[in-house]
Amino acid sequence: MKKIASFQVDHNKLKKGMYISRIDGDIITYDIRMKEPNKGDYVSNGALHTFEHLFATYARNSKFKGSVIYIGPMGCRTGFYMLLRDDISYKKAIDLAYNSFKFICEFEGEIPGAKEMECGNYIEHDLEGAKLVAEDMLDILKNWNEEKMIYEK
Ligand SMILES: [Zn+2]
């Protein structure tokens, strides 16, 4: 089998940030990298899970909700994939991620969709952990732009 595109990215050079992973027709896959690969520091399962619930809830209620295809965590626990239609610009995609992470940072109360009947592992959540990751990424994304979205070769 052929190696898929995301395995061809040099993970030794990958820094925290937001990248264009691939484009398939009118669907853009963004790589939102929250931890440097293979450095021993990963998002915990609980934090990643809570982050997923809050990120998806915010993005799917935002003004860009019609362009959101999918948002989900990477199995390596170093980031998220966000799939959007190309009817929103790269700049607006960065804004959407930024605003989602701000929402997570400020979130208080009951995690949406985290009742036993709504979730596949409702015990495994970590809101404080998710907030720390969001805070860290806000710092990175506030200075992010289109030119930085291309993977370093
Ligand atoms: Zn869940």
Q: What is the pLDDT of residues 87-132, one digit of tens each?
A: 999 999 999 999 999 999 999 999 999 999 999 999 999 999 999 9
CA distance 101 to 118: 22
Q: What is the pLDDT of residue 6?
A: 82
Q: What is the pLDDT of residue 81?
A: 98
> Which residue carries 């799917």 as its tokens?
60
pLDDT tens string 14-57: 999 999 999 999 999 999 999 999 999 999 999 999 999 999 99
In the reported structure, the alpha carbon of residue 56 is separated from the centroid of ligand 1 by a whole-number distance in angstroms of 11
CA distance 98 to 50: 17
Predicted model pTM: 0.95
In the reported structure, the alpha carbon of residue 57 is separated from the centroid of ligand 1 by a whole-number distance in angstroms of 12
Give burial (CB, 10 Å; 0-12/13-18/19+) of 153: exposed
CA distance 142 to 18: 11
